[in-house]
Amino acid sequence: MVEEHGPGILMAAFIIVVGILFNPFAAKAEEFHWGFKKSVNGIPPDAGAALNSMLEKHGAIYKGKPDEKVAYLSFDNGYENGYTESILDTLKKENVPATFFLTGHYLKSAAPLVQRMVKDGHGIGNHSFDHPNMANLTEERMEEEWKKFDELLYKTTGVKRTNYARPPEGIFNDTVLRKGNELGYRHIFWSVAFIDWHANKPRGKAYAYNELMNQLHPGAVILMHTVSPDNAEALPDFIRDAKKAGYEFRTLDDLVLEYENVDMILR
């Protein structure tokens, strides 16, 4: 269940075309691997006109507005490696919300932690049930992946369904986004990420902290993996130092309201 976002995180977004090399928009041929050039000096990354247009069409989001120091924490959980409890403790101590994008395996194997996420007020996102390449599935199988996850989530926590989805390994296409919309799912990607999913290759607290601080920008949607001890160790200092730098942490619901230009009078 290890998630790998590959080198796409480190370079401009690109398209893998299966079978038809010179027609990236051929029907049922394309896969888009989410990626971008990392943020530097607080400047938000840009996925490029083609992907921006596709995401805009389907209401998919990867960053907030660039004029306000707000960040949104999200974690992808494919399996439990012993660090999620520490992350939850930090979030509770610092009074910071997050969204955990989970798989069916995680729901089955770490139910008490999922129940705590909900109890602590965090959001649960749909990372699919079996962690497949969603772009390779039929629309019927896509629906099965999302709905099977929601059914188990309801049995585990009482949460009726998820509203936000994130494709495994960041692989998607127009059909994934469109079908998700039809079923009531909004895709949330990210604008801050780094290689942190190799559970057996820790790089140390400083590595994760520096990646997070160096890439931090207004409207940042931050992706981390809970399998990494580096993230669990770096998170307290990162949150405190981001706050000192003037950042506020908000929920994905807030991000969507901002994206829709809804005036948050009650804030």
206 near 57, Cβ under 8 Å?
Answer: no
Taking the C-alpha atoms of residue 220 and residue 229, their distance in angstroms, rounded to an integer, is: 22
Decide if 225 is catalytic. Answer: yes
Strand partners, 192: 222
Residues contacting residue 189 through CB under 8 Å, at least 6 positions apart: 34, 55, 60, 61, 62, 166, 170, 221
Q: Which of 122, 225, 230, 254 is catalytic?
A: 225
Give the other-Cβ count within 10 Å of 63's Cβ.
Answer: 23
Residue 192's Cα: distance from chain center in Å? 10
Taking the C-alpha atoms of residue 236 and residue 234, their distance in angstroms, rounded to an integer, is: 6
Q: Which of 5, 33, 76, 122 is catalytic?
A: 76
φ/ψ of 125, rounded to 5, equals -105, 160
Decide if 130 is catalytic. Answer: no
- Coil/strand/helix, residue 104: helix
- Coil/strand/helix, residue 141: helix
Q: Residues with catalytic annotation?
A: 76, 225
